Chain A
Amino acid sequence: MKVKVYGADLTAWVAAASLARAGNDVLIEGPDTQLAKPLQEISALRDEPGLLYQIELQMQEGRLKRTSSQDCKTNIHWLALEHNEFHLAQAIISELANEVTENLLIVNQCNFGVGATDMLQSLLNEAANQVVVYIPNNLQEGKALQGFSQPKRITIGSENSWAITMTRSLIRPFLQNIEHLLLMSSREAEFTKLAITGMLAIRIGYINELANLADQMDVDIDTIREGMGADPRIGNHYLSPGCGFGGQNFNQNISRFSEIFEKRGQNSLLKTVISENEIQKELLFKKLWQHYQCDLTHKTVSVWGASFKPGTASIDNAPSLKVIDALLAQGVHVRVHDPEALGNLQQHYDDHHDIAFCNDPYDAITESDALLLVTEWPEYWSPDYERLLQQMRMPLIIDGRNIFDREALEMYGFTYMGVGR
Chain B
Amino acid sequence: MTVDQSPAWLALKSHAQSLSNKHLKEMFAEDPQRFAKLSFSAAHCLADFSKQRITDDTLQLLIGLAEQQQLPQKIEALFTGEHVNTSENRPALHTALRQPKETPLVLQGVDISKEIHCSLERMEALVEQIHNGQWRGYDGSPIKTVVNIGVGGSDLGPLMTCRALNLFTTDDIRDIELHFVSSMDGSQLARLLNQIDPASTLFIVSSKSFSTIDTLANSNTAREWLVNASGLPVELISQHHFIGVTASPAKATEWGIPEKNQLHFWDWTGGRYSMWSAIGMAIALQTGNQNFRRFLAGANLMDTHFRTAPLTSNLPVLLAMVGIWNINFLNIHAHAILPYDGRLEHLPAYLEQLEMESNGKCVTLTGEKLNYATCPILWGEVGPNAQHAFYQLLHQGTESVMCDFIAPALRYQGHGDELKAQHQLALANCLAQSRLLALGDSVLEDAANAPSHKRYRGNQPSTTIMIDELTPESFGALIAMYEHKVYVQSVIWEINPFDQWGVELGKQVATSLLDQFSNPTTTTDSSTEGLIRFVQQQRQEAGS
By a CB distance below 8 angstroms, the chain B residues around A288 are 140
Binary interface profile of B, 102-139, with partner A (CB < 8 Å = 1, else 0)? 00000000000000000000000000010010101011
By a CB distance below 8 angstroms, the chain A residues around B364 are none
Roughly how many angstroms separate A293 CA and B80 CA in the complex, as a whole number? 48
Q: Which 8 A-B pairs have the closest CB atoms?
A: A286-B140, A289-B140, A329-B134, A294-B240, A285-B140, A294-B236, A294-B138, A286-B139
Binary interface profile of B, 222-240, with partner A (CB < 8 Å = 1, else 0)? 0000000000100010011
By a CB distance below 8 angstroms, the chain A residues around B138 are 290, 294
A282 to chain B, nearest CB (A): 7
Known: A293-B236, A294-B236, A294-B240. A329 touches B140 (CB 8 A): no
By a CB distance below 8 angstroms, the chain B residues around A282 are 140, 142
Known: A294-B236, A294-B239, A294-B240. A289 touches B139 (CB 8 A): yes
Q: How many residues of B contact A (CB 8 A)?
A: 13
29 CB-based A-B contacts, threshold 8 Å: A279-B141, A282-B140, A285-B140, A286-B139, A286-B140, A286-B141, A287-B140, A288-B140, A289-B139, A289-B140, A290-B138, A290-B139, A290-B140, A293-B232, A293-B236, A294-B138, A294-B140, A294-B232, A294-B236, A294-B239, A294-B240, A325-B134, A326-B134, A326-B136, A329-B129, A329-B132, A329-B134, A330-B134, A330-B136
Q: Name A285's closest neighbour in chain B (CB-CB).
A: B140
B274 to chain A, nearest CB (A): 30
Roughly how many angstroms separate A294 CA and B135 CA in the complex, as a whole number? 11
Q: A293-B232, A326-B140, A330-B136 are in contact. List 10 more A-B contacts (CB 8 A).
A: A282-B140, A286-B140, A290-B139, A293-B236, A294-B136, A294-B140, A294-B232, A326-B136, A329-B132, A330-B134
By a CB distance below 8 angstroms, the chain B residues around A279 are 141
Q: Name B233's closest neighbour in chain A (CB-CB).
A: A293
Binary interface profile of A, 294-328, with partner B (CB < 8 Å = 1, else 0)? 10000000000000000000000000000001100
By a CB distance below 8 angstroms, the chain B residues around A326 are 134, 136, 140
Roughly how many angstroms separate A294 CA and B236 CA in the complex, as a whole number? 8
Roughly how many angstroms separate A325 CA and B129 CA in the complex, as a whole number? 12
Inter-chain contact B134/A289, CB cutoff 8 Å: no
A372 to chain B, nearest CB (A): 13
Q: Name A329's closest neighbour in chain B (CB-CB).
A: B134
A296 to chain B, nearest CB (A): 9
Q: Which of A317-362 contact B (CB under 8 A)?
A: 325-326, 329-330
Q: Name B241's closest neighbour in chain A (CB-CB).
A: A294
B317 to chain A, nearest CB (A): 49
Roughly how many angstroms separate A288 CA and B240 CA in the complex, as a whole number? 16
By a CB distance below 8 angstroms, the chain A residues around B240 are 294
Q: Which of B231-271 contact A (CB under 8 A)?
A: 232, 236, 239-240
By a CB distance below 8 angstroms, the chain B residues around A325 are 134
A332 to chain B, nearest CB (A): 12
Binary interface profile of B, 472-492, with partner A (CB < 8 Å = 1, else 0)? 000000000000000000000
Q: Which of B268-290 contact A (CB under 8 A)?
A: none
Roughly how many angstroms separate A133 CA and B227 CA in the complex, as a whole number? 61
Q: Name B129's closest neighbour in chain A (CB-CB).
A: A329
By a CB distance below 8 angstroms, the chain A residues around B141 are 279, 286
By a CB distance below 8 angstroms, the chain B residues around A294 are 136, 138, 140, 232, 236, 239-240
A375 to chain B, nearest CB (A): 20
By a CB distance below 8 angstroms, the chain A residues around B236 are 293-294
A236 to chain B, nearest CB (A): 31
Q: Name B142's closest neighbour in chain A (CB-CB).
A: A282
Q: Which of A138-165 contact B (CB under 8 A)?
A: none
A156 to chain B, nearest CB (A): 41
Q: Name B237's closest neighbour in chain A (CB-CB).
A: A294
By a CB distance below 8 angstroms, the chain B residues around A287 are 140
Roughly how many angstroms separate A203 CA and B138 CA in the complex, as a whole number? 29
Roughly how many angstroms separate A330 CA and B134 CA in the complex, as a whole number? 8
By a CB distance below 8 angstroms, the chain A residues around B136 are 289, 294, 326, 330
By a CB distance below 8 angstroms, the chain A residues around B134 are 325-326, 329-330
Roughly how many angstroms separate A330 CA and B133 CA in the complex, as a whole number? 12
Q: Name A326's closest neighbour in chain B (CB-CB).
A: B134
A78 to chain B, nearest CB (A): 37
Q: Name A279's closest neighbour in chain B (CB-CB).
A: B141
By a CB distance below 8 angstroms, the chain B residues around A330 are 134, 136
